[in-house]
Amino acid sequence: MTTVLFDIGNTRLKWGVLTASGEVAGAGYRTHKECESDNYAAVLDTLPGDIDRVVAVNVAGRRVAADLSRAIDEKAGLDIDFATSRAEACGLSNGYDEPARLGVDRWAACVGAWTRYPQEALLVVDAGTATTLDAIDSSGHHLGGLILPGLTLMGRVLDTSTSGIGTDGAGADDPEPENLFGRNTDQAVRSGALAAICGAMERACRVLEGIDQLPRILLTGGDARRIQRQWHYTVENRPDLVLEGLAALAGAE
């Protein structure tokens, strides 16, 4: 049985194949614009010919989901099984008041983190279009999370919503970790966005340490490496964490 996994994010599509050992192999990604330009042909060409099942998490909306569903139907004659956030899965309990309202990508990332590091306190940071932080205690309880604009979105909002800043920071390089303060507006915007996310991470760690939950920090998402370079402490970058969690969810059904 060959299961293909899709992580349909706000900006890009990621995919991989679930192996017999429960790992994710052959992971790749394309932006939604790239996928639309060739009707998913480049994605479909990478997939095995003997697909039995397709499972996905989707936060990009109905149109993108429908376009991918049509492409998969034409290639393999299969419907996509879209995962949803639940009250409990794989030994992890969902901390939201309404579990179904937790973003399914966040839920999958948390499940992926917990199945890899059970009985550990965890802070799961997904740095994409939005940046999310989710806390898990060592008993397997998701404690809730934080949602911030992503690095690019922070700069874009400053550029479009102010009259005097006039830049999104894209003209500057990321600062060295020891050089926090920008010497021009591009640098200040870029440094400010990175500092905001790192500051949220530091605050989350302090709060968790205050309840005797020293967290292992897992980073994922398109901007994970940028944040990792600014972080002074131990952090693990797992680019395919959402797919790993989706693999665990698919195997549990």
User: Among 45, 52, 67, 105, which one carries the catalytic annotation?
Assistant: 105
| Residues contacting 17, CB < 8 A, separation 6+ | 2, 3, 4, 5, 24, 25, 26, 47, 48
Task: Assess whether 105 carries a catalytic annotation.
Answer: yes
Q: How far apart are CA 103 and CA 53, in angstroms?
A: 23
**Does residue 127 contact residue 150 with C-beta atoms inside 8 Å?**
yes
Q: Which helix (H) or strand (E) holds 143?
A: strand 142-149
Closest CA to 175 of 157, 159, 198, 154: 198
SS3 assignment, position 114: helix
- According to DSSP, the β-strands at 51-58 and 80-82 are parallel
Q: Under DSSP, is residue 47 helix (H, G, I), strand (E, B) or coil?
A: coil
Only one residue has tokens 């370079």, namely: 229
Q: How far is CA 189 from the centre of its chain?
A: 23
Phi-psi region of 229 (alpha: psi -120 to 50; beta: other; left: phi over 0): alpha
**Residues 87, 135: contact at Cβ < 8 Å?**
no
Catalytic residues: 105
